[in-house]
Amino acid sequence: MNVKQFLYEDSTKYQSLKKIYRLIYDRGPITKADLQTITNIKHTTLVRIIDELLTNHFIFESGLGISSGGRPPVLYDISIKHGYIIGIDISRTHTTIALLDLKLSMIEKYSLTMTRVHTPDIVIEIIIDTIKNFMQLHCLTNDELIGIGIGSVGPLDRKQGLILNPDSFLSSGWNGVHIVQSLEKEFSVKVLLENGANTAAFAEYIHSSDKGNDILYCISGVGLRCGMLVNGQIVQNKTGVASAFGHMIVNIDGRECICGKKGCLLSYTSFDSMKKEIFEQITSGGKSILPIDQSLTFEQLIQAANAGDEIVENVILCSAHYYGIGIANMVNMMQPDQVLLNGPLIYEYPPYYAKIVMTAKQYLFDTHKNAVLFKKGCLKEDAVPIGAAALLLNDIFK
């Protein structure tokens, strides 16, 4: 039996084996004595299970623990050589395909910029070809590919494996995309679909050493996506729309949003909203190093801000102010332990992040002000595909 067959096995015969394997996966390297303390399984039964896991090369002896007076105990850990997972990030600006081992370390990654030519059919074809290239490059067999996790822009139909009708894609055709079915048919593995903000939040959760199981995770860029973990579990809304938070009203008489209403958070935080405001100020006589050009990129915006362009700086900080208000509203309602922020401006223009946190704290309930930890996401652009792979593996374990 290979590790893929073992992980997919759901008969009662393998329940004890999988229980010990999962504990070694989560807590390894770990000793036999610690496993017995956690599980209360009889010593003879535990020895038999460990021997079987060793014989099948699902685990290995990774070293020796600290002696308590006698012979040092053997440490056990999972073998990562015979199982691999694909993590995918599908957003409005890019699609990333990553190959990860069973411990979720990234081995290979390929990213493409989404343009007007990147219809669903073309993107799915690129994803399939990339996975096949990864497998060929690392001499992987179909038995070694455990599954595929996808973190995507919503709305989604998770049960049917569909990307429904997300807005703001440059290409047409992103409506009712059978992404899961296409990949399952090609690779004959389990494929999991979840919104990318949730997969990113889960990746940061399993990666972080900070205490707190309730996490609000926000990705700001072309749009705004937010995910939420409660007790370490992702919170799923019915439609998988991570961008719904962007339509929270933060200024009742404010700017018009793409949804048709006024004062939505998105109408202040999206790249298009900032670009529009900058162009309006330049047209009205303001001086900026930026040209009025619809092809303006995030990189150019950040370069202008770091160069001291006053118009750009003011627009970005105004955006950060309303973003902070929106986050305060979410924190007051959901009461997370941590707020993690991700996005180009978060990492590359420090005053933006600082303004968001300062404003958010101003509008928090007094009981929350010192109880919430604000941080930048540690995994940056890798959070979505890593989290997608982690959720896939977690689902298989269950």
Residue 95 lies in domain: 84-203+383-397
Same domain, yes or no: 56 and 177: no
Q: What would the pLDDT profile of 272-300 be if each residue is shown by its tens digit?
A: 999 999 999 999 999 999 888 878 888 99
Q: Are the C-beta atoms of 89 and 385 separated by less than 8 Å?
A: yes
- Residue 310, CA atoms < 13 Å, CB-side half-sphere: 4
Residue 209 pLDDT more than 80? no
Number of C-beta neighbours around residue 152 at 10 A:
26
Instruction: Using pLDDT thresholds of 50, 70 and 90, give the confidence band for residue 210.
Output: low
Same domain, yes or no: 18 and 101: no
Residue at which a domain ends, from 28, 45, 78: 78
Same domain, yes or no: 190 and 214: no
Residue at which a domain ends, from 53, 78, 103: 78
Q: What is the pLDDT of residue 11?
A: 83
Any bridge partners for residue 233, and if so which? 230
Same domain, yes or no: 154 and 275: no
Residue 86 pLDDT more than 80? yes
Domain count of the fold of the chain: 3
Per-residue pLDDT, averaged over 105-114, amounts to: 96
Q: What percent of the chain has pLDDT over 70?
A: 96
Same domain, yes or no: 392 and 362: no
Residue 238 pLDDT more than 80? no
Q: CA-to-CA distance for 262 and 296, rounded, in angstroms?
A: 25
Any bridge partners for residue 147, and if so which? 85, 190
In the three-class reduction of DSSP (H, G, I as helix; E, B as strand; rest coil), residue 209 is classed as: coil
Same domain, yes or no: 371 and 390: no
Q: Tell me how far CA of residue 266 lies from CA of 38, 118, 163, 164, 320, in angstroms.
A: 47, 24, 21, 20, 11
Same domain, yes or no: 105 and 151: yes
Same domain, yes or no: 334 and 392: no
Residue 345 pLDDT more than 90? yes
Q: Are the C-beta atoms of 390 and 206 separated by less than 8 Å?
A: yes
Same domain, yes or no: 217 and 125: no
Q: What is the pLDDT of residue 315?
A: 96
Which stretches of the chain are DSSP H helices? 3-8, 15-27, 32-39, 43-55, 120-137, 179-187, 196-207, 266-269, 271-283, 298-306, 310-334, 344-348, 350-362, 383-397
pLDDT greater at residue 273 or residue 245: 273
Q: What percent of the chain has pLDDT over 90?
A: 72
Residue at which a domain ends, from 78, 105, 129: 78
Q: What is the pLDDT of residue 376?
A: 95
Same domain, yes or no: 103 and 251: no
186: buried, middle or exposed (CB in 10 Å: 19+, 13-18, 0-12)? middle
Find the CATH number of the domain harbouring 239. 3.30.420.40
Same domain, yes or no: 99 and 223: no
Find the CATH number of the domain harbouring 31. 1.10.10.10
Same domain, yes or no: 98 and 194: yes
